[in-house]
């Protein structure tokens, strides 16, 4: 008798499968199984069913059980994860298991929420109602309901009467009804149906252009200013695609905060389809349930954050990536994938379109759509994306806001605020309009400074400064969470005059309260929004006109739509103008365009006031003109000259350990190995990142760069196998970062 051998992927940092004997249960590839692993049990996925093994058959352990009641993962998903594991140089088993909902990584069976669906049999539909006595009123009511609705779920029966389910079972026993088990649909709130606006010319053009090629791989960049009606375009495309038999659409959004709004809008406009969301705000069982609805094809619309790109979707026909430039699409630990890039690969394999939407596209996408290049070197294929522009705001009265820069070097600041901004805030208060003050938190948090020796309170675990939280009388590190009390005197010189300096959100809130005592002020940042509901409550208050001034960090920049908000003040962003990170200006521009987009969304004109010591900077020139395109083109030219992405491909080998000596030794080895290959890849010396120490770990990296993606990939493959075998690889935490966003 030949033995059946199962090759299983496990959540372990080894890039191989593990062989087990079958336990007699009938399994297929993609099936979830429970196996013994060392002294423990592990969940795995069957990747191959084989007849032979390198291990002696009698030594193979059988699997403990197969979760045969669960649908196996399909080949498309397994292949996609395979591609990503190779491309990002991450162990396949870890990549696969971490793409699954938590419940599927646990050793209990993942029961899907099933419920019964009732319908009448032929016999049942001929029933004479009068045979039932008055006592059997529920029976006849259920019968009548089934007669008119053709079928009803248990939940729907529950709305008829508390004993309706029992009555339905009785009908089944009598042979009048049948029941079948189906996956439970989620309970959907009823949404008011919203009238469909007439598309403007630019929108119509975008929709009709994309609809012409729905059945082939094609990336589209929908470049539209904030409020230009991109979401409306998504809705029309979804309508077109979902009209087909068995079709699914995947919509990615950068943050879970943005899902409820979009979800509500999709539900009210596409009420006939099953929509599920997938994000970290769901409970484990909700997430599993939504994921299963997607996997079974029952959910036609899936809206989710980054990880949702790995959802099995048997009928996927279209992907939409909203705010495609957002850096939260990049995973910053474990497998460092970029959801936009993974979407491209997936779409190409499925031969379907992908729509990327943004007012400020990532330079990579802009390059791919416009091919802006004086000296295209032919290696990076430019002009691969279709470009569709929406240049006007959709609501004709809503004009783009006027943007002014106030030179902070020329005026006297009152607690960090220019007289112009204070006057503008006053004017809004008088007119009963709302304002938003935006602080770019990075580099502008209040720190504790000694006036005598200029000592600044540092974090003991990171190379960062502690941030003053006056409310709790604490110093806190925003990188590792370390907290300590505010010292009474300077630990360096003994001076007792320690004071917070810099304009944090808390200080700004206090300053405003003094300057504008009548204003109702709300602060939105990581500290004030620790509860999930807190942001929702504040946003509700803004909509109810119970708040005059919102003070906040980047959390406020995205997506929110406040019709009565007419002023946006930007307090201080100059540190980003001079950042060593080559992507800093791209990010700053996008961020300022986003916040500026919060002003004047409805019929009242908006105004943006930016306080800066560099009003003549190119970035502000472009911003004042709302001219993303020319700024992006200028940045691309710069990148081409200095050979930065997207003109070259980069990867990092990151490493960290408790001692830098270990990191250095490890990276030095990596450096020598990489150099020894003599490929067309530039290998840079080991360096330390801006944040040298983080959470008590000393950090370093080497950068690799090439104009040829395959050459870089070949080198990484070789290098990773060398590094995995190196004796230090157990002592040093290291990772490969392909196409890194941050250095």
Give contact residues for ligand ADP (rule: CB under 6 A): 197-200, 203, 224, 226-232, 394-395
| Residue 212: CB minimum distance to ligand ADP, A | 20
Nearby residues of 39 by Cβ (< 8 Å), 6 or more positions away:
none
With binding defined as CB under 5 A, does residue 105 bind Zn ion? no
Look at residues 741, 360, 407, 359 and name the one whose alpha carbon lies nearest to residue 574: 407
Would the CA dihedral through 17, 23, 29, 34 be positive or negative?
negative
Taking the least distance from each CB to ligand ADP, the nearer of 4 and 268 is 268
Q: Decide if 309 contacts 252 (C-beta within 8 A).
A: yes
For residue 231, the partner it binds in ligand ADP, Zn ion, none, with Cβ less than 5 to 8 A by kind, is ligand ADP
For residue 459, the partner it binds in ligand ADP, Zn ion, none, with Cβ less than 5 to 8 A by kind, is Zn ion
Nearby residues of 396 by Cβ (< 8 Å), 6 or more positions away:
none
| Residue 658: CB minimum distance to Zn ion, A | 15
| Residue 475: CB minimum distance to Zn ion, A | 10
Taking the least distance from each CB to Zn ion, the nearer of 493 and 513 is 493
| Residue 232: CB minimum distance to ligand ADP, A | 4
| Residue 742: CB minimum distance to Zn ion, A | 17
Taking the least distance from each CB to Zn ion, the nearer of 388 and 459 is 459
With binding defined as CB under 5 A, does residue 663 bind Zn ion? no
Helix (H) or strand (E) holding 164: helix 164-173
Number of CB atoms found within 10 A of residue 14's CB: 12
| Residue 536: CB minimum distance to ligand ADP, A | 19
Taking the least distance from each CB to Zn ion, the nearer of 202 and 525 is 525
Q: Which member of 169, 479, 621, 733 binds Zn ion (CB under 5 A)? A: 479
| Residue 230: CB minimum distance to ligand ADP, A | 3
How far apart are alpha carbons 568 and 608 in whole angstroms? 5
Q: Supply φ then ψ for residue 557, to 5 degrees.
A: -70, -30
For residue 200, the partner it binds in Zn ion, ligand ADP, none, with Cβ less than 5 to 8 A by kind, is ligand ADP
Taking the least distance from each CB to Zn ion, the nearer of 414 and 489 is 489
How far apart are alpha carbons 100 and 682 in whole angstroms? 36
How far apart are alpha carbons 176 and 39 in whole angstroms? 54
For residue 350, the partner it binds in ligand ADP, Zn ion, none, with Cβ less than 5 to 8 A by kind, is none
The stretch near Zn ion (CB under 5 A) out of 249-257, 480-488, 603-611, 667-675 is 480-488
| Residue 226: CB minimum distance to ligand ADP, A | 5
DSSP structural state of residue 283: -
Long-range contacts formed by 637-646: CB under 8 A, 24+ apart: 637/372, 637/374, 639/363, 639/582, 640/373, 640/374, 640/375, 642/582, 643/705, 643/707, 644/582, 645/363, 645/364, 645/739, 646/363, 646/364, 646/367, 646/368, 646/380
Nearby residues of 308 by Cβ (< 8 Å), 6 or more positions away:
250, 252, 278, 279, 302, 339
| Residue 204: CB minimum distance to ligand ADP, A | 9
SS3 (DSSP) at 666: helix
| Residue 497: CB minimum distance to Zn ion, A | 9
Q: Which member of 105, 169, 441, 461 binds Zn ion (CB under 5 A)? A: 461
Look at residues 442, 461, 464 and name the one whose alpha carbon lies nearest to residue 656: 461
Taking the least distance from each CB to ligand ADP, the nearer of 13 and 197 is 197
For residue 450, the partner it binds in Zn ion, ligand ADP, none, with Cβ less than 5 to 8 A by kind, is Zn ion
For residue 493, the partner it binds in ligand ADP, Zn ion, none, with Cβ less than 5 to 8 A by kind, is Zn ion
Taking the least distance from each CB to ligand ADP, the nearer of 143 and 234 is 234
Q: Which member of 462, 475, 576, 608 binds Zn ion (CB under 5 A)? A: 462
Q: Which member of 492, 630, 676, 721 binds Zn ion (CB under 5 A)? A: 492
Taking the least distance from each CB to Zn ion, the nearer of 455 and 743 is 455
With binding defined as CB under 5 A, does residue 478 bind Zn ion? no
Helix (H) or strand (E) holding 181: strand 177-183
Q: Is 212 exposed, middle or buried (0-12, 13-18, 19+ CB in 10 A)?
A: exposed
Q: Decide if 321 contacts 304 (C-beta within 8 A).
A: no
Q: Which member of 50, 57, 108, 453 binds Zn ion (CB under 5 A)? A: 453
How far apart are alpha carbons 46 and 155 in whole angstroms? 36
Q: Decide if 402 contacts 605 (C-beta within 8 A).
A: yes
DSSP structural state of residue 108: S
Taking the least distance from each CB to ligand ADP, the nearer of 73 and 321 is 321
Residues lying near Zn ion in the complex (CB under 5 A) are found at 450, 452-453, 455, 459, 461-462, 477, 479-480, 482, 490, 492-493, 495
């Amino acid at each position: 008798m030949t033995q059946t051998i199962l090759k299983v992927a496990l959540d372990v940092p080894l890039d191989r499968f593990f062989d087990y004997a079958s336990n007699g249960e009938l399994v297929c590839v993609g099936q979830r199984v429970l196996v013994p692993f060392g002294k423990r049990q592990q969940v795995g996925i069957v990747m191959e069913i084989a007849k032979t093994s390198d291990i002696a058959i009698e030594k193979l352990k059988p699997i403990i059980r197969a979760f045969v009641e669960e649908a196996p993962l399909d080949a498309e998903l397994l292949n996609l994860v395979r591609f990503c594991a190779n491309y990002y140089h991450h162990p396949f088993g870890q990549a696969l298991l971490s793409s699954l909902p938590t419940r599927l990584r646990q050793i209990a069976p993942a029961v899907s929420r099933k419920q019964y669906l009732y319908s009448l049999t032929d016999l049942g539909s001929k029933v004479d109602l009068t045979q039932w006595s008055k006592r059997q009123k529920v029976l006849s009511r259920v019968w009548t309901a089934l007669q008119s609705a053709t079928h009803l779920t248990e939940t729907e029966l529950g709305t008829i009467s508390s004993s309706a389910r029992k009555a339905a079972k009785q009908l089944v026993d009598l042979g009048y009804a049948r029941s079948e088990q189906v996956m439970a649909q989620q309970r959907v709130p009823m949404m008011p149906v919203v009238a469909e606006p007439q598309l403007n010319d630019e929108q119509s053009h975008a929709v009709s252009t994309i609809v012409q090629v729905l059945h082939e791989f094609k990336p589209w960049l929908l470049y539209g200013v904030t409020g230009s009606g991109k979401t409306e375009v998504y809705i029309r495309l979804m309508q077109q695609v979902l009209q087909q038999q068995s079709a699914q659409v995947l919509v990615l959004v950068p943050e879970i905060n943005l899902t409820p709004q979009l979800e509500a809008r999709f539900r009210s406009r596409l009420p006939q389809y099953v929509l599920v969301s997938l994000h970290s705000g769901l409970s484990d069982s909700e997430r599993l349930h939504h994921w299963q609805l997607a996997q079974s094809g029952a959910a036609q619309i899936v809206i989710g954050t980054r990880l949702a790109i790995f959802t099995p979707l048997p009928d996927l026909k279209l992907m939409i990536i909203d705010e495609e430039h957002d850096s939260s699409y990049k995973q910053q630990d474990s497998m460092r994938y970029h959801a936009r890039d993974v979407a491209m690969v997936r779409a190409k394999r499925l031969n379907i379109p992908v729509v990327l939407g943004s007012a400020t596209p990532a330079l990579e996408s802009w390059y791919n759509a416009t091919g802006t290049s004086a000296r295209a070197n032919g290696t990076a294929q430019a002009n691969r994306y279709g470009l569709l522009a929406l240049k006007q705001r959709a609501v004709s009265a809503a004009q783009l806001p006027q943007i002014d820069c106030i030179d902070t070097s020329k005026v006297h600041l009152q607690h960090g605020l220019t007289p112009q901004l204070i006057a503008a805030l006053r004017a809004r208060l008088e007119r009963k309009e709302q304002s938003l003050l935006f602080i770019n938190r990075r580099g502008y948090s209040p720190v504790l400074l000694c006036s005598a020796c200029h000592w600044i309170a540092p974090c003991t675990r990171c190379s960062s400064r502690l941030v003053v939280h006056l409310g709790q009388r604490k110093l806190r590190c925003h990188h590792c969470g370390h907290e300590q009390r505010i010292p009474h005197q300077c630990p360096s010189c003994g001076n007792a005059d320690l004071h917070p300096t810099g304009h944090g959100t808390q200080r700004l809130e206090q300053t405003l309260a003094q300057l504008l005592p009548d204003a109702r002020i709300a602060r939105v940042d990581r500290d004030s929004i620790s509860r999930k509901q807190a942001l929702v409550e504040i946003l509700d208050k803004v909509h109810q006109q119970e708040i005059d001034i919102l003070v906040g960090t980047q959390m406020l920049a995205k997506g929110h739509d406040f019709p009565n908000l007419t002023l946006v003040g930007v307090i201080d962003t100059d540190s980003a103008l001079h950042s060593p990170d080559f992507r800093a200006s791209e990010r700053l521009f996008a961020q300022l365009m986003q916040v500026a987009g919060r002003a004047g969304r409805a019929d009242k004109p908006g105004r943006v006031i930016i306080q800066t010591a560099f009003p003549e900077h190119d970035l502000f020139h472009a911003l004042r003109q709302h001219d993303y395109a020319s700024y992006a083109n200028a940045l691309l030219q710069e990148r081409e000259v200095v050979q930065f992405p997207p003109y070259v491909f980069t990867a990092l080998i990151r490493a960290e350990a408790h001692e830098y000596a270990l990191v250095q030794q490890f990276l030095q080895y990596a450096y020598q190995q990489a150099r020894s290959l003599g490929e067309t890849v530039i290998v840079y010396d080991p360096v330390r990142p801006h944040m040298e120490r983080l959470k008590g770990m000393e950090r370093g990296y080497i950068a690799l760069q090439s104009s040829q993606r395959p050459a870089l990939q070949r080198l990484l493959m070789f290098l990773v196998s060398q590094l995995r075998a190196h004796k230090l690889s157990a002592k040093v935490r290291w990772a490969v970062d392909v196409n890194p966003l941050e250095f």
